[in-house]
Amino acid sequence: MRLVGERDVLRAPELRERLLALLESGQPVVVDLSEATFLDSASLGVFVKAFKQADTHQQPLLFLVPRERSSNIRRVFDITGLGRVLPLVSSWQEVEQSLAEECASTNSGSVNS
């Protein structure tokens, strides 16, 4: 899911609907914030709710926030403390690595009968 430009309280319902629909697929979800320029508390609330839902279902949900291009967005996560709570990655390479690790840990946790 790619977010471009500003995300504020007026666009939060659309964001929530789109993100929750993606989570219903059961597939890993990446929220690409590399072209986002502004996030308000309503958007952050959507991300927290989505993360809790994904975590409950053991479904990978990652937030792509490149350091160099989205420093303002990264700063929002750092200032609010959500950077320590939500799974942030800085590149698509980190996305792939994180998903591979998640897949490996899921497969190693299965029991053969």
Digit-coded pLDDT (tens) for 17-34: 999 999 999 999 999 999
Which is the CATH superfamily of the domain at 2-108?
STAS domain (3.30.750.24)
Q: How many CB atoms lie within 10 A of CB 1?
A: 16
Q: What does the domain layout of the chain look like in residue ranges?
A: 2-108
pLDDT tens-digit readout, 72-82: 899 999 999 99
Q: Along the chain (113 residues), what's the average pLDDT of each consecutive run of 10 residues?
A: 94 96 94 94 96 94 82 89 95 92 70 44
State the pLDDT at residue 106.
67
Distance CA 56, CA 96 (A): 22
pLDDT at res. 109:
57
Q: Other C-beta atoms within 10 Å of 29: how many?
A: 18
Contact yes or no for 43/8 (Cβ under 8 A): yes
- Half-sphere CA count of 24, side-chain side, radius 13 A: 6
d(CA 53, CA 66): 24
